[in-house]
């Protein structure tokens, strides 16, 4: 029974694979949102403030220092509307704000949220607005009755609400545990997905192992190792890998084109390098086998040599070559054989002593040409007919097989000659070296992208 891989195990309907893909995408979106929430919280707070309800998951609370400072400013705004700028209670609020401002500059409550740039922006804005190079002087001057009286309470508070308040509002404090680590409750959301995907993997692996007895339950899990990335408590962004696989298996997204374009350049480069490596290594190993004599030993003395099938490939190739010689080659070269035999027979007759005696007889000089032509035609035609009929006749075939067996034995024996091997080995090695050099040269001249495009066209065609 053919082995069934996990990919070949397909349900009758795609609805389950599609559902799994949807759940995986939802989980990945939540994971990415959780990972990017802290860096993007200021943007959410400004444009989508309702999303900051997620602060509870990240254990984010308003920073007590900046929050108390904002509450004091709110009290001042309300107090100015009710009591005016010159009231004694208003004076005490200005003093309180100046003291809290000094505490903020000294303690820098933005450190806990890693908002160094926000703190620096706050200082620069106050310095620029008050036209001074000292943040302390700027804040001291700003929170004073003289300044509010000079520019007007509405104008001063408008600057604070538009330029300073947003910087203070985005500051926060994160609760830590006894180990000093930030408390993150995302696991309460994620645990449901982890349990679901764990159960789904176990059930799927069990079903596949039941379908194929030669595949164990553990083997199926190992083949689907990427699903284990759903179980990692850290590096949760790696879940993009199993999610991509599940989308590829579903019918929602066609990832073939995306993968083809994303991997296009690397595949072109790697395929070109690998093909050159394989060809060069194959030729080098063949050259080593020829130089060391291993190729000759395996071919001529196949004892201990691993064979493919029960057929002797050397004998089969020899038989096939003889068959081609008899039925294909000889008919094509028969005219040349006749011309060669005519020339040989004519030369032999002219050099014989009998012809030297008769050469003075009138008309006798035409005899050798006539005899050689007729004899050559007869020998060539007869030789071909004998070989063809012998190869086709059962008894003749048996005799011919004995002849070919003797030929193979004699050929093997002659090829085992050390002197002959020493003569042939460098020739074959040089031939392979030429093949290697020419292949590498052509490979460098050819465009690997054109080869890949051709392969892709053939793949799409079929």
Tokens, residue 136: 């302390």
State the pLDDT at residue 10.
Answer: 46
Instruction: Record the pTM.
Output: 0.56
Residue 58 backbone phi and psi in degrees, to 5: -90, 5
3-state SS assignment for residue 57: coil
Instruction: List all residues 6 or more positions away from 239 whose beta carbon is below 8 Å from its beta carbon.
Output: 24, 27, 28, 31, 229, 230, 232
Q: Give the range with max mean pLDDT: 218-227, 357-366, 379-388, 410-419.
A: 218-227
Range 62-82 average pLDDT: 91
| Helical H segments across 224-312, by residue range | 240-249, 255-262, 264-292, 294-300
State the pLDDT at residue 308.
Answer: 46
State the pLDDT at residue 206.
Answer: 87
User: What is the pLDDT confidence band of residue 147, given thresholds at 50, 70 and 90?
Assistant: very high
Tokens, residue 372: 């050689």
Residue 362 backbone phi and psi in degrees, to 5: -60, 135
State the pLDDT at residue 218.
Answer: 85
State the pLDDT at residue 6.
Answer: 38
User: What is the pLDDT confidence band of residue 139, given thresholds at 50, 70 and 90?
Assistant: very high
Contact predicate 209/220, CB 8 Å = yes
Contact predicate 407/318, CB 8 Å = yes
Q: How do residues 387-397 score in pLDDT, each as one tens digit?
A: 566 556 666 66
Tokens, residue 417: 């000659």
Instruction: Write down how long the chain is.
Output: 462
Average pLDDT, the chain: 75
What residues pair up with 62 in beta bridges, in sequence order?
A: 172
Pairing of strands 172-174, 60-62: antiparallel
Q: Among 129, 153, 68, which Cα is nearest to 104's?
A: 68
Q: How do residues 7-32 score in pLDDT, each as one tens digit?
A: 444 444 578 888 888 999 999 999 99
């Amino acid at each position: 029974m053919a082995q069934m891989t996990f990919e070949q195990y397909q349900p009758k309907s795609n609805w389950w694979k599609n559902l799994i893909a949807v759940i995986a995408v939802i989980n990945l979106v939540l994971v990415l949102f959780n990972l990017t929430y802290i860096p993007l919280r200021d943007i959410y707070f400004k444009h989508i403030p309702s999303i900051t309800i997620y602060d509870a998951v990240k254990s984010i609370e308003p920073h007590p220092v900046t929050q108390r400072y904002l509450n004091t400013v709110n009290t001042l705004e309300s107090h100015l509307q009710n009591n005016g700028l010159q009231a004694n209670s208003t004076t005490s609020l200005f003093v309180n704000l100046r003291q809290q401002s000094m505490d903020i500059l000294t303690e820098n409550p933005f450190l806990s949220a890693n908002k160094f740039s926000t703190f620096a922006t706050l200082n620069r804005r106050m310095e620029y607005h008050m036209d001074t190079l000292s943040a302390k002087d700027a804040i001291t001057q700003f929170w004073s009755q003289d300044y509010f009286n000079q520019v007007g309470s509405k104008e001063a508070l408008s600057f604070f609400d538009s330029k300073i308040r947003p910087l203070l509002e985005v500051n926060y404090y994160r609760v830590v545990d006894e180990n000093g680590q930030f408390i993150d409750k995302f696991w309460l959301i994620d645990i449901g997905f982890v349990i679901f995907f764990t159960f789904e993997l176990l059930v799927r692996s069990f079903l596949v192992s039941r379908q194929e007895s030669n595949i164990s339950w553990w083997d199926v899990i190992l083949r689907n190792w990427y699903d284990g990335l759903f179980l990692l408590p850290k590096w949760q962004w790696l879940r993009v890998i199993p999610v991509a696989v599940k989308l590829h298996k579903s019918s929602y997204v066609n990832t073939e084109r995306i993968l083809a374009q994303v991997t296009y350049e690397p595949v072109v480069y790697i395929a070109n390098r690998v093909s050159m490596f394989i060809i060069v290594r194959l030729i080098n190993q063949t050259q080593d086998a020829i130089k060391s004599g291993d190729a000759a030993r395996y071919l001529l003395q196949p004892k201990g040599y691993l064979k493919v099938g029960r057929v002797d490939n050397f004998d089969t190739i020899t038989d096939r070559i003889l068959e081609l010689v008899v039925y294909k080659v000889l008919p094509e070269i028969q005219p040349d054989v006749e011309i060669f035999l005519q020339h040989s027979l004519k030369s032999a007759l002219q050099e014989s002593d009998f012809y030297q005696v008769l050469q003075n007889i009138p008309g006798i000089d035409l005899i050798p040409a006539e005899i050689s032509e007729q004899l050559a035609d007869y020998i060539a035609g007869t030789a071909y007919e004998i070989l063809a009929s012998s190869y086709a006749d059962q008894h003749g075939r048996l005799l011919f097989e004995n002849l070919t067996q003797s030929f193979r034995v004699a050929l093997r024996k002659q090829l085992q000659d050390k002197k002959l091997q020493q003569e042939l080995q460098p020739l074959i090695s040089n031939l392979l070296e030429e093949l290697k050099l020419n292949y590498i040269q052509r490979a460098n001249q050819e465009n690997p992208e054109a080869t890949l495009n051709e392969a892709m066209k053939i793949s799409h065609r079929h």
